[in-house]
Each structure stands twice: as C-alpha cells, then as structure tokens.
Structure 1
C-alpha cells in the first residue's frame, strides 16, 4: 500500500472519469480521500487535461511533486472513441444543448463517410466550440454563449494522426480518433457534418489513451475511495 510519503513525493493516478462528473469533481474527490486517509490539511493535486462532463474515460491526476509534470503530460497525444449523429446540429456541438437545425442525410453514403474522414487527417485549423471554458478577454467562451453575445473565436492548429470510422448505422457513426493536445472532438463532429453538406453533433465520447497510458488501467474515483479508505479500517 502507498504511504503518505509516496503521495507527497509524487504519484500519477489514472482515473476513469464517470459520465456527468466534471474533471474538477474527480480531482476534489481524490483530494478529499487522500486528506482523510493520511490526516493531511493540504496536498498538491491536479489533472493533466480536462474532460467535459458528458465525456468519460482517462483522466491523469498528479499528486504531490508530480504536479510539476502536469504540463508534460498535457502535451501527450490522446485517443478517443465516440459516436456522432448526422443530420442535425446543436449550439454546443454535443448533447449539452438542444438541436437547433436539421439537415438531409439522403445523399450520404458509407463511401462518402470514409472518404470525408480521410480529409480530417493531418494538421487542421480548428475553431473551438463557443460552449467551452476557453477565455477571451478574461471571460469564458460559454459565458458569452449563454448571454447570447456574439464573439469572434480564433482558430488554432491541431493535428489528427488517425481518424477511423468503426461503424456506420445512419444517422449514427462510431469512430476512433488520435489527436494532439487542444483538439476539440466536438468541433471535429461539427466540421465533419459540414464537410458532408449536412450537420452533425457529438453524442458520446470516451478518452481511451493519453500517450502510453490506457483507460484499461484506470480506476473509477469511487473505487479509489473504497480501496484507500479501507486501509483506515484494517
């Protein structure tokens, strides 16, 4: 079992973030568990890359002196699996908001889907979603969106190294994607719909890998709590 000194000197914890949890909630849960287990008043802890509440999967949480490595971990390539729905769009590019427009998908074939996916491989100029936590002039973009205020969003360079269509059951498409830091998969879904001369939004997302780290080796935060606090009773 890991000791207080282990955590303070630096630990990397792989967590499988549940649906509807924010990344901040996951960090806070582990922080509470460690403080309770070891009687600590404070402990350094932080995650190396946010996951939206509607996404699940791998969250890398650095504890103690490993918080200095957060920037290093954030730069690693990431793999996701997910589903998108063709023929409609939402303002947030996912299920956080209601459908605002619908489009025909009668012209979309499996061949066209696969052909279009290939055009997303490489370096892309991507516009982040307006419903995101990125800041402009000291204010979160989603705050502008909720106030209905127009805002100019700068595009940024991202890189997609793999974009595999794993299943097509129109209007649903399943995919696997490997991409650089800062890539918004919601924006990929939205832009994919436009490229098909239709619309699309992200309906589910799971982060499966960050660099060499795999979600298969990650723990649910409630399981982590159970394991660590069980040591108090033993």
Structure 2
C-alpha cells in the first residue's frame, strides 16, 4: 500500500472515532482515499484531530486524545484509566470514627489511584497507627501484618456489651466489691504469653462464607472458636473503678476487645473496650504517623517511606 493510501486510511479511522465520540457526521461517507475528509461539528469544535491522525500514522504509543474523544467512554482505550506507579509505605494516624478501608480509599485517591492496601484493620472506634502500602509494597503486607503491635486501651469493668466495645448494647453487672488495683494487676498476668482467645462475635473473621459481624447484625451471632494468640507484654497503667488503662505488646490476630471481655470474666465484673489506640505496628510508631488532614491533597514520593527503607527498618528492629 502506498504512503498516501496509508495516510488516508489512518485519517479515515481517526475521523470515524471522532464522529462516534462527539456526534460528528461526515458529508460524504464514501470519501475517496485521495480526498481530505470533511467533518461538520454538530455541537463543538475538535481542534486536535490532526494530532490524532498523525499519531495513528506514525504508530505513536503515547495517548493523544481530544476533549471530545475523552467523552467516548464506550471506546475503552488505554488512556481512559491511568494509575500511579507510586510505591512505598505511608503511615497514617487513623482518626476516630473512620474505617480502615475508608482511610485506604482516601489515600489511594490522593496517590493518583495507585494500588493500595493496609496491614492490619483498626475498628472505627479505634485510633492510631495504620500502615498503608502503595504499589509493589503491597506484596509485603503479609509480612507487615505478622509484626508485633502495641496498644493502649481503657477497659470499662462495669458492664459487658454485645460488641465488646462501647458501641454495643450494655449489660450491667452488679459488683459487690470493686476489684482493687492489685486484683486487676494479678488478673492481667493470666493474659501474658501464649493464651487461648475467643474472637468477638462482631469481627471480620469469615464464617460460612460471610463475615462474623454480618451474621451478628442479622441476629445470628456466632460463638467463634478460641485460637492461640501471643501477648509479649501487658501492664496496668492507671486504675480508678470502673476504668482500667492497660498497655500491651501483642502478636498477630490478637483482639483487644476480647481481652477486655475476658478480663471482666476473670475479675467477676463486666468488661468492654471503652477506648483503643494502636501506638505501633512493628517499627512503625505513632511518631512516624500523620493524620490524613495534615497530608497534602497529592500524595507523592516525598510523602512515603520507600519500600527499601521500610524493609531495612524492619530488619534492623528484628520485625
């Protein structure tokens, strides 16, 4: 095929695309190869048709699109979905009331739709360190989730709740004599080392193809089987009946809400998590975390820790 015919053929293809995307019509559908196609814009002008024609002729791999052609969503060209190639670790100080997935959605949008995930869920009623991974760093999420976590919690010993936190319906417990500080300290020793812990009915654990919390909300709460979890350290920081403030360093799969419930059982009182803050995930501490409100609208490489630096930090800390 001659050069002029290739040019004319590419031009005809480009015109057909523009006609379909911007509702343009041609005066002569059977335009001969040697003629220049004429287009009558019915709604708005298309000033960059020449660029599209030339791009088609030379086989340019770059996306060259007009304002009109961007509206042609039915074309599904590679230009329609552009994702950032940002890679790294972004440490968020999650605020009260926000779900972990909501944090990831906001961070991903600000990062140019980069691939993203988080390393360990925090309940909406919890605050603190949430590690968000972008790009290639998402492949390290399992390793991040396996690291130790540090928490501080306030346990209300006056009542149990359906959700093991302050959000659920309260079930008051009559206590003849409130436990002393020594009573609470001694009870906490039962929760050191490898222990058997039953997850809350309102949890994200899969049961019969559904999340446990979904079944609980449908009035089908599940008695989840206990499993082995590890508590490396646990200490009573403050105590004034009925609130006990506790700090702990735990392994993977530990539920602070379950600790609050089980502590109440051990003391013969009630027990639910009144507040919770995660202060560290492995070597990523709250001092390194930033609130989303303090983060620029555009998250770029200057806002994240490189994957290499994050892995080196984990190795140096033994995580």
Q: State the TM-score, normalized to the length of structure 1.
A: 0.89
Q: Is the 8 A contact 2:87 2:136 kept in 1?
A: yes
Match of 2:174 among 103, 106, 111: 103
| Bigger Rg, structure 1 or 2 | 2
CA deviations over 1:176-217 (Å, ceiling 9, x no partner): 011011100000000000000111110000000111110111
Secondary structure class of the residue paired with 1:225 = coil
1:54 matched residue in structure 2: 125
**Structure 1 residues 1-234: aligned runs within 5 Å:** 8=85, 10-35=87-112, 42-104=113-175, 106-226=177-297, 228=299
Q: Which stretch has the larger CA shift, 109-118 or 219-228? A: 219-228
2:44 matched residue in structure 1: none
For 2:298 and 2:214, how far apart are their aligned partners in 1?
Answer: 39
For 2:178 and 2:127, how far apart are their aligned partners in 1?
Answer: 32
For 2:228 and 2:266, how far apart are their aligned partners in 1?
Answer: 18
CA deviations over 1:63-111 (Å, ceiling 9, x no partner): 0100000001000000001101112100100012120232316141111
Indicate the RMSD between aligned Cα atoms, in angstroms: 1.7
Q: Is the 8 A contact 2:152 2:248 kept in 1?
A: yes
- Structure 1 gap ranges (5+): 1-6, 36-41
- Structure 2 gap ranges (5+): 1-83, 303-319
Total equivalences in the alignment:
218
Deviation at 1:134, TM superposition (A): 1.1
For 1:97 and 1:129, how far apart are their aligned partners in 2?
Answer: 12
2:41 matched residue in structure 1: none
Q: Is the 8 A contact 2:178 2:241 kept in 1?
A: no
For 1:152 and 1:120, how far apart are their aligned partners in 2?
Answer: 21
Task: Flag the structure with higher strand content.
Answer: 1
For 2:127 and 2:98, how far apart are their aligned partners in 1?
Answer: 8
For 2:269 and 2:127, how far apart are their aligned partners in 1?
Answer: 27
Change beyond 3 A, Cα 1:193–1:105:
farther
Q: Is the 8 A contact 2:110 2:297 kept in 1?
A: no
For 1:106 and 1:216, how far apart are their aligned partners in 2?
Answer: 40
Secondary structure class of the residue paired with 1:149 = coil
Secondary structure class of the residue paired with 2:248 = strand
For 1:156 and 1:196, how far apart are their aligned partners in 2?
Answer: 22
For 1:113 and 1:152, how far apart are their aligned partners in 2?
Answer: 26
* Higher relative contact order (CA closer than 8 Å, sequence separation 6+): 1
